[in-house]
């Protein structure tokens, strides 16, 4: 099967405990479950509803503050006037934290806030935390988010990076969530930047990456 990201032929392996087939691209280091394992919207919603995230939970707040501590020093805050939290989940906490920094922030989630997305609005910053591992078509969504950015706008993504080793992957907790179907490395996002002509700014080597949309001029 060809890679969903770079279209190169993937190797496949069977997870020894679950029997699930995975495809591993050596070119862009992307791994994805067999599409037979992809769940419909209702099944995904059932899983998401088990999350008990609260804006009053200090651990949850610290989680997002850690994300912003990585992002904000690497961007020009004076150029960030409007942001979008794409796939915010059941709370608008991350948007609120950005508002506290003086950044006007919209938020959207296909389950909890499905009517919050303005199809014509552009943003200077889009953040997306723990979203990409759920996407059936991550390359398409990546392109859609870039299209929602103003020129020189930033895209910040948080997703757990895999180790690029199939043995270690099979011991990893992350794929155990049945809604986690696609898995990334920093290199995967670097390849996406090459495909869509955007600039790779930095990553934290673990689970965060910051990208910038190029100006055409």
- For the segment 81-90, what is each residue's pLDDT rounded down to a tens digit? 999 999 998 8
Number of domains in the chain: 1
Return d(Cα 122, Cα 144) in angstroms, integer: 11
Beta bridge pairs of residue 64: none
Q: Quote the CA–CA distance of 208 and 7 in Å, as a whole number.
A: 24
Sort strands 82-86 and 123-129 into parallel, antiparallel or unpaired.
parallel
Domain CATH for 168: 3.40.50.150
Instruction: Give strand ranges (E) for 59-159.
Output: 82-86, 104-108, 123-129, 149-158
In a domain, 4, yes or no: no
Q: Flag whether 136 is in a domain.
A: yes
In a domain, 166, yes or no: yes
Gap between the Cα atoms of 117 and 106, Å rounded: 8
Give the global pTM.
0.94
How buried is 75 (Cβ within 10 angstroms: 0-12 exposed, 13-18 middle, 19+ buried)? middle
Q: Is residue 58 part of a domain?
A: no
Kindly give, in sequence order, each residue whose CB lies less than 8 Å from that of residue 68, ignoring residues fewer than 6 positions away.
Answer: 94, 97, 98, 101
Q: Which residues form the domain of 20?
A: 11-51+66-213
Write out pLDDT tens, residues 103-120: 999 999 998 999 999 989
pLDDT digits (tens, 9 = 90+) for 110-160: 989 999 999 899 999 999 999 999 999 999 999 999 999 999 999 999 999
Q: What are the pLDDT digits (tens) for 1-25?
A: 999 999 999 999 999 999 999 999 9
Residue with tokens 């508002």: 99
160: exposed, middle or buried (C-beta count within 10 Å: 0-12, 13-18, 19+)? middle
Model pLDDT, residue 150: 96
The answer to whether position 5 is within a domain reads: no
């Amino acid at each position: 099967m060809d890679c969903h990201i770079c279209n190169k032929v993937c190797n496949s392996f069977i997870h020894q405990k679950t029997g699930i087939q995975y495809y591993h691209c050596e070119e862009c280091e992307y791994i994805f479950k067999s599409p037979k394992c992809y769940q419909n919207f209702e099944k995904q919603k059932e899983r998401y509803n088990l999350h008990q995230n609260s804006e009053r939970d200090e651990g949850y707040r610290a989680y997002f503050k850690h994300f912003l501590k990585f992002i904000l020093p690497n961007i020009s805050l004076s150029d960030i006037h409007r942001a979008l939290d794409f796939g915010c989940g059941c709370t608008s906490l991350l948007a609120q934290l950005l508002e506290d920094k003086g950044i006007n922030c919209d938020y959207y989630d296909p389950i909890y806030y499905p009517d919050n997305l303005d199809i014509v609005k552009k943003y200077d910053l889009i953040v997306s935390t723990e979203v990409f591992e759920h996407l059936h078509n991550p390359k398409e969504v990546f392109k859609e988010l870039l299209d929602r950015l103003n020129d020189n706008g930033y895209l910040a993504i948080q997703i757990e990076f895999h180790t690029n080793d199939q043995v270690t992957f099979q011991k990893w907790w992350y794929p155990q969530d049945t809604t986690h179907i696609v898995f990334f490395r920093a290199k995967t996002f670097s390849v996406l930047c090459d495909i869509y002509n955007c600039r790779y700014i930095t990553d934290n080597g673990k689970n965060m990456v910051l990208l910038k949309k190029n100006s055409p001029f």
